[in-house]
Amino acid sequence: MPKNLSPCRLALIGNPVAHSLSPLIHREFARQTGQAVTYEVRCVPLKCFVEGVQAFVDEGGVGFNVTIPFKEEAYRWVTRLTERARIAQAVNTVFLKDGLWWGDNTDGVGFVRDLAYVGISICNQRVLILGAGGAARGIISALLLENPKEIVIANRTFEKGEALAVYFQRMKGACSIRAVAISKNPLIADLIIHATSQELPLLAPKSCRGTGCYDLAYSTQETPFQKWAVQNGAANALNGLGMLVEQAAESFFIWTGVRPKDTRSMIARLLTMPSPQLKNNSM
Ligand code: ATR
């Protein structure tokens, strides 16, 4: 963006948002890339998403992130959807193009990029997803593009897991994707993704032996799931901090056309910070 234009005014809209790391991340991206960007947080009352967005737009907002509980509402609010937002049925990034509001979803690509950076390949691997809510839905299309051997969804409510599996089976070129019931028997996987809203999933502990484990919730400290997975023999256990930074980088790119290069040093810096109380996937 030329320096003589007013800054690109961005925000995070959600509830709660007070502990979000997103402002810090985007301000650092702006500094790194020399882009004139402002990024604020807007805590919007639960039934007032549209009003909250309108107020921000009236004040000059030209793009925003959306977090819990508004990702589905944002999906309905925008005029146009990118393919990945359409498939996820949720929007976490809103941008203006040719006078129209577009909705995108950068969660899946952020997740897959983080895995790639830490050297975890999904290609030909067996992936187990615990949970079948919005967090799970948000990453599955990006996972499918990496050609896993299979995706298994284990959810407390089996029917919800099954419905999600059926939904993604329709995606062109999809690998085997199916739902299983939660049971006391271990499930076999190379990568286990914790995508429920609970700290610990319903999963036989032995399932973790020798696997990679990834908690979609983020924290600058080890999460309870990470600790539990390592105690039960996981080969490694990560949380969603890397995904948070990578999805933010993708959003920043959408808004400014400039891709932040140094996401990994940002993650390293965040890891030295004390952890605020962060809820599941609340960007
Ligand atoms: P999110 O958008 O964070 O994914 P969500 O759409 O409400 O939130 O989904 C929450 C997920 O956590 C669901 O998979 C839910 O399982 P159900 O489909 O059976 O409701 C799961 N979950 C919530 N509470 C749970 C609990 N006490 N034990 C196990 N799973 C739970």
How confident is the model at residue 169, as a pLDDT? Answer: 92
Centre of ligand 1 to C-alpha 58, Å, is 36
Q: Is 206 a catalytic residue?
A: no
Spatial neighbors of 151 by CB under 8 A, at least 6 apart, are: 127, 128, 129, 140, 143, 144, 165, 168, 175, 176, 177, 178
How confident is the model at residue 170, as a pLDDT? Answer: 86
pTM surpassing 0.75?
A: yes
How confident is the model at residue 6, as a pLDDT? Answer: 79
Centre of ligand 1 to C-alpha 67, Å, is 17
Catalytic-labelled residue, pool 71, 149, 206, 279: 71
How confident is the model at residue 275, as a pLDDT? Answer: 67
Question: Cα(187)–Cα(103) distance, rounded to whole angstroms?
Answer: 36
Residues in contact with ligand 1 (CB, 6 Å cut-off) = 131-135, 155-157, 160, 196-198, 202, 280-281
> What residue owns the CA closest to ligand 1's atom 11?
196
| Residue pair 111/247 in contact by the 8 Å Cβ criterion | yes
What's the sign of the alpha-carbon dihedral 12, 93, 133, 225? negative
How confident is the model at residue 279, as a pLDDT? Answer: 46
> Which atom belonging to ligand 1 lies closest to the Cα atom of 137?
4
Burial of 156 (0-12, 13-18, 19+ CB in 10 A): middle
Mutation test residue for ligand 1: of 107, 139, 183, 196, the one with most atoms within 8 Å of CB = 196
Do the two domains 8-106+244-270 and 109-241 of this chain adopt the same fold? yes
Architecture per CATH, 109-241: 3-Layer(aba) Sandwich (3.40)
Q: Average model confidence (pLDDT) for the chain?
A: 94
How confident is the model at residue 273, as a pLDDT? Answer: 83
How confident is the model at residue 73, as a pLDDT? Answer: 98
Centre of ligand 1 to C-alpha 197, Å, is 5
> What residue owns the CA closest to ligand 1's atom 8?
133
What are the boundaries of each domain within the chain? 8-106+244-270, 109-241
Consecutive 10-residue runs of the chain (283 residues): their mean pLDDT?
A: 72 95 96 96 97 97 97 98 96 97 98 97 97 96 95 97 95 85 94 96 95 96 97 97 98 97 94 66 56
Centre of ligand 1 to C-alpha 100, Å, is 34
Q: Which CATH class is domain 8-106+244-270?
A: alpha beta
> Which atom belonging to ligand 1 lies closest to the Cα atom of 202?
29
> Which atom belonging to ligand 1 lies closest to the Cα atom of 132?
14
Spatial neighbors of 238 by CB under 8 A, at least 6 apart, are: 114, 118, 212, 213, 214, 215, 226
Centre of ligand 1 to C-alpha 217, Å, is 13
How confident is the model at residue 283, as a pLDDT? Answer: 62
> What residue owns the CA closest to ligand 1's atom 29?
156
